């Protein structure tokens, strides 16, 4: 996915603002297994996935708990670092060899001061991420594991092919055995 498509899907920008923003974005490859973001660290950049897939997770004594997947076109950022310039909560791991666009947050903050269109774009980025987080939280609280799996199949069928079942089970808040049972029931 091109950087123009990714930026404009967050919020439309006038051509001059789009070009100014793109001047601060670089493209970088990363290998499968690379940890993009680390918990308890202020993250100085925002990523956008050109190609690849990522998962956000938190580590407990017993296991890693996956709570987000990102794929082509998605931003990857620590909201706490982005909004408050504080240490984030999550780790983000690449699940495939990936190509990412990289935007330093300090440079983006400078652009916010210079261009109201870019400042509004940054606000829309935060709003969209807030809504996605809210949707995941509410879904986890009110829908059954079978409903959550069915939603995943309908909304993101490619994730099932590209992500290990253990990560999907963790994302759904169930064991891998329960996921196998759900998958068998839906066949």
Task: Tell me, yes or no, whether 187 lies in a domain.
Answer: no
Question: Which of 167, 58, 19, 43 lies closest to 156 in space, CA to CA?
Answer: 167
21 located within any domain: yes
Domains identified in the chain, total number: 1
Instruction: Indicate whether 180 pLDDT > 90.
Output: yes
pLDDT band for position 62 (50/70/90)? Answer: confident
Mean pLDDT of 72-79: 96
Residue 186 belongs to some domain of the structure? no
Residue 30 within a domain: yes
Mean pLDDT of 90-97: 97
DSSP 3-state of 88: coil
Q: Which residues contact 136 (CB under 8 A, 6 or more apart)?
A: 67, 68
Instruction: Give percent of the chain above pLDDT 90.
Output: 93
Token pair of 6, please?
A: 């990714």
CB count within 10 Å of CB 174 equals 19
Tell me whether residue 95 is in a domain. Answer: yes
Task: Return the CA Rg of the chain.
Answer: 17
pLDDT at 129 over 90: yes
Stretch 64-85: mean pLDDT, rounded? 95
Using one digit for the tens of pLDDT, what is the confidence trace for 11-28?
999 999 999 999 999 999
Q: Give a yes or no: residue 115 inside a domain.
A: yes
Query: What is the average pLDDT score of the chain?
Result: 95
Query: Is 81 part of a structural domain of the chain?
Result: yes
Note down the domain range covering 127: 3-142
Residue 24: which CATH number? 2.60.120.10
- Rounded Cα distance between 175 and 184, Å, is 14
**62 CB burial (10 A radius; 0-12, 13-18, 19+):** exposed
pLDDT category of residue 63 using cuts at 50, 70 and 90: confident
> What pTM was estimated for this model as a whole?
0.94
Q: What average pLDDT does the segment 171-186 reach?
A: 93
Is position 149 within any domain? Answer: no
DSSP notation for 129-164: HHHHHHHHHHHHHHS-HHHHHHHHHHH-HHHHHHS-
């Amino acid at each position: 996915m091109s950087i123009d498509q990714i930026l404009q899907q967050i919020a439309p920008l006038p051509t001059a603002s789009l070009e100014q923003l793109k001047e601060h974005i670089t493209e970088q490859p990363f290998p499968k297994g690379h940890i993009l973001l680390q918990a308890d660290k202020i993250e100085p950049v925002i990523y956008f996935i050109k190609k690849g897939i990522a998962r956000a997770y938190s580590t407990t004594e017993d296991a890693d708990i996956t709570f987000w997947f990102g794929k082509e076109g998605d931003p990857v950022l620590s909201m706490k670092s982005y909004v408050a310039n504080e240490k984030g909560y999550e780790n983000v791991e690449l699940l495939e060899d990936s190509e990412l666009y990289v935007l330093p947050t300090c440079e983006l903050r400078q652009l916010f001061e210079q261009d109201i269109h870019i400042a509004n774009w940054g606000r829309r980025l935060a709003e969209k991420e807030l809504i996605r987080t809210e949707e995941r939280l509410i879904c986890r609280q009110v829908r059954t594991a079978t409903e959550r799996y069915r939603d995943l199949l309908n909304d993101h069928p490619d994730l099932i092919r590209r992500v290990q079942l253990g990560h999907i089970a963790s994302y759904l808040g169930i064991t891998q055995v329960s996921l196998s049972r759900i998958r068998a029931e839906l066949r």
